[in-house]
Structure 1
Amino acid sequence: MRFILAIITLLACIPYAQAETRYVVDQATLPMRAGQSTSHKIIAMLPSGMAVEALEQSDTGYTLVRTQSGKEGWMLSRYLMKTPAARDRLIHAELELAKLNELKAQKKSVESELEELKATNSKLEKELEHIRSTAANAVQMAEENRALKSSAESTRQELETLQQQTRDIRNGAQQRWFLLGGGAILLGIILGLILPRMRVRRKQWGGY
């Protein structure tokens, strides 16, 4: 009994080798022969997934095929498929998926650029509207400036006219005062000459 327990303990201490998953390599070559049996000479070894042209199928289970290079030979019909190999389809699917991911990335990049262009366009439209508003204000200010200049010129001409009229009035008043003054002086002189004579005559008349 002790011997059996010792053996069980010893076996428990021995590590078991863990089983690992392995995959058969998806790469094989198949013979293409000169005739319809295994006794015929092998012309070429064709890799799995290779596309060939089926020319003739016999009752012996062989098919006459032609490679892309133009070489012809017989292969077992069971080694030929109407669809590409799963490995080739997987590679094609992976390529298509990579292209799809690339297109998605390009679409995302284009959408991002489109958003940037929209933002830039909106900014440019605002700047253009500001420029138009500024230009309209500038045109309005220019028109107002021209109107003010025209009004100032008209006012200046009116002022010059008034100044000329004022000068004419002053000149006329001065002439009138000069004439009045001259007339007064002349009248004084005449009176100065006449009054003494009148006094003399009155005295003479008074004496008679």
Structure 2
Amino acid sequence: MKNLVLWLALFAASSQLYSQTLYVSDQLTVAMRSGQSNEYRIVKYLVSGTSLTQIGTSEDGSYIQVRTRKGIEGWVQNQDLSQQPSGRAMYKTAQGTIANLEGKNSALKQQLNEISSKHASTQDKLTSLTSNNNEVSKELENIKAISANAIQLNEDNQRLLEENQMLKNEVEVLSTDNQRLVDNQESDAFLNGAFAVLIGVMITLIVPRAWPKKSTDWA
């Protein structure tokens, strides 16, 4: 029982030790064989930069048992493996990263151009709105001035109406006084005429009596 526990512990430790990621070195192709020597058949050729998972190692450490991402297992010489990606793989990765960054940079430039265009459009709209606002402000000032003039004209008109009404009242008073004077003049003229007639009648009646009649020679 103790031996079984010890064996399981060693297996777990070896699994943790071997389950690391290795990469094929900068050689063009590397043979993955079915055993721990060149005498075993080639299972697959691995190109430089291929990512492999270590699952075991030979007793002398010259061969490493690996598994590909597709699950193919085999043995590869330790000298053909590296814990770091190969320069070629790193170059390809860098190229891909550069291409990706260039694509993002191009997209960002396009977004920047769109934002700049929108900003320019917004600026034009702002300028137009500012101009319209200035025009509206001028119209408002004109309306205020016209309103002020209209108010002044209304006040002047009201004052003139009041003065006109006062003049009408004065005209009516003067007309009444004039009519009264005319009536008085007519009455005075009538009285004067009547008095003159009366005087004439009196003269006609009194004067002949005041003078004696002369005798005529015809008698």
Report how many aligned residue pairs link the two structures.
183
1:17-166 matches, within 5 Å, as: 28-58=28-58, 59=60, 61-166=62-167
Three-state SS of the structure 1 residue aligned to 2:188 is helix
Structure 1 segments unaligned to the other structure (5+ residues): 1-25
Instruction: Give CA deviations for 1:112-141 in whole Å, capped at 9, x if unaligned.
Output: 334333433332222222222222223333
1:197 deviation in Å?
A: 3.6
- 143-152 or 184-193, larger mean C-alpha shift: 143-152
Instruction: Give CA deviations for 1:77-107 in whole Å, capped at 9, x if unaligned.
Output: 1111222233222221222222233333334
Distance across 2 between alignment mates of 1:64 and 1:172: 137
1:160 deviation in Å?
A: 2.4
1:53 deviation in Å?
A: 1.0
1:172-183 matches, within 5 Å, as: 172-183=173-184
Distance across 2 between alignment mates of 1:106 and 1:41: 50
Work out whether residues 48 and 88 of structure 2, in 8 Å CA contact, stay in contact via their aligned partners in 1.
Answer: no
Identity across matched positions, percent? 21
1:187 deviation in Å?
A: 0.8
Work out whether residues 56 and 65 of structure 2, in 8 Å CA contact, stay in contact via their aligned partners in 1.
Answer: yes
Three-state SS of the structure 2 residue aligned to 1:52 is strand
Distance across 2 between alignment mates of 1:113 and 1:39: 64
Distance across 1 between alignment mates of 2:96 and 2:143: 68
Q: TM-score, normalised by structure 2?
A: 0.68
- 181-190 or 125-134, larger mean C-alpha shift: 125-134
Distance across 1 between alignment mates of 2:43 and 2:113: 58
Work out whether residues 36 and 60 of structure 1, in 8 Å CA contact, stay in contact via their aligned partners in 2.
Answer: no
Q: TM-score, normalised by structure 1?
A: 0.71
Higher relative contact order structure (alpha carbons within 8 Å, sequence separation ≥ 6) = 2
1:196 deviation in Å?
A: 4.3
Instruction: Give CA deviations for 1:50-71 in whole Å, capped at 9, x if unaligned.
Output: 2111122321511111121223
Two-structure CA RMSD over aligned residues (Å): 3.0
Report what 2:195 is aligned to.
Answer: 194
Which residue identity is paired with 2:105? Answer: K
- 78-87 or 42-51, larger mean C-alpha shift: 42-51
Three-state SS of the structure 1 residue aligned to 2:51 is coil
- 84-93 or 26-35, larger mean C-alpha shift: 26-35
Instruction: Give CA deviations for 1:131-183 in whole Å, capped at 9, x if unaligned.
Output: 22222223333333333323222322222222233233223222222221221
Distance across 2 between alignment mates of 1:150 and 1:65: 101
